[in-house]
Amino acid sequence: MTIKVAINGYGTIGKRVAYAVSRQDDMKLAGVVKHSPDFEARMAVERGFDVYVSDSERIIKFEKAGIKVKGTKEDLFGKADVVVDATPEGIAEENKKKIYAPKKLNAIFEGGEEHSIAGTSFVAQANYAEALGQKYIRCVSCNTTGVVRILNALDKSFKVKRANVFLARRATDPHEIKKGPINAIVPDPVHVPSHHGPDAQTILKDMKISTMAIKVPTTLMHLHAFNVQVDKKVHAKDVIDALKQTPRVLLLHSEDGIHSTAGVTEYARELGRYRNDLYENAVWEDSIATDGNDIYLYQAIHQEADVVPENIDAIRAMFQLEKDAMKSIRKTDKSLGIKTP
């Protein structure tokens, strides 16, 4: 079976998921919905993607800009089995109410939306089975995805008793010029805990997770600091061994010249993937330390990329194209050049 996938919102996440869908042999990109007749729309057409507009009044704007469109989003949705809604935060809720639900169309939502939009929040290696056959699935945010991958792995090996995670969040994405801060460090939010802990608990339901977050003036990546208490005394080597067996986790070393998110970004560029995307959590192996039952580590998260393979696995789970999580993860990873342990 080949699943026809429509992408609604061809921005940071949407264009990456479109690329990833186009790499799968059990999915077909039915088309993408563009809002503005910009270079991204033009390049999508050049890449051979069918471009549709978000509303009929916009067709004229695209025509004036010389960008060939195939129709409106309604035309596209009529041909699709599922929509990946990667519109800016808040729009998807309306789309679900006014379009997807009345049309009985399956949909994947992104992390800017609330858990309630789908009722199933998703990170493949943690709860693939829960998503099998669901009509709606929400892929959690870049930060939550990064946090869940680590905590799920530590829980499987050592049984997590409680986790404290401190998140230094990038201010915005590299292309963005209107958001800040540019000269401040912002507790985000000021009240503790941040929403990331409860969000991770929509997947790791019984785990005690507490998070604090700040926003910093950088666009490259997020940085997370973990302190996790587990059920038994643990050695750093055991943690390293466990993470080496965890999909979508990459162990890097400061001795290798990687001292910061800038270094991780440069490493990702050297990998030579499309858009230099780093889909994996980048954990500093030499940051992994233990003290009795406590585990400490640092990781970097490429916010534009880590949720992309999760969207592919979510589609596969939704249509039960593959019932086994690891088989889906391996298939997705191979298509994107990720090494799976």
List contacts with ligand NAD (CB under 6 A).
Answer: 8-14, 33, 35-36, 54, 86-89, 91, 110-113, 141-142, 173, 303-304, 307
If you write DSSP's letter for every residue of 143-205 in order, what string do you get? Answer: HHHHHHHHHHHHHHHH-EEEEEEEEEEESS-TT--S---SS--EESSSSSS-THHHHHHTTST
Q: Is 142 a catalytic residue?
A: yes
Phi/psi for 54 (5° steps) reads -75, -25
Please pick, among 44, 107, 142, 230, the residue that the annotation labels catalytic.
Answer: 142
The nearer residue to ligand NAD, 90 or 257, going by C-beta atoms, is 90
CB of 61 to ligand NAD, least distance (A): 12
CB of 55 to ligand NAD, least distance (A): 8
List all residues 6 or more positions away from 149 whose beta carbon is below 8 Å from its beta carbon: 123, 125, 126, 246, 247, 248, 249, 281
Q: Which of 91, 105, 81 is nearest to 35 (CA)?
A: 91
Measured over the CA atoms of residue 138, residue 139, residue 142 and residue 143, the dihedral's sign is positive
Is the distance from CB of 289 to CB of 296 less than 8 angstroms? yes
Phi-psi region of 142 (alpha: psi -120 to 50; beta: other; left: phi over 0): alpha
Distance, in Å, from the CA atom of 336 to the CA atom of 331, rounded to the nearest integer, reads: 9
CB of 258 to ligand NAD, least distance (A): 21
CB of 167 to ligand NAD, least distance (A): 13
The nearer residue to ligand NAD, 169 or 316, going by C-beta atoms, is 169
Give the type of residue at 49.
Answer: F
For residue 244, give both structure tokens: 């080496």
The nearer residue to ligand NAD, 285 or 302, going by C-beta atoms, is 302
The nearer residue to ligand NAD, 261 or 303, going by C-beta atoms, is 303
CB of 12 to ligand NAD, least distance (A): 3
Distance, in Å, from the CA atom of 134 to the CA atom of 286, rounded to the nearest integer, reads: 40
List active site positions: 142
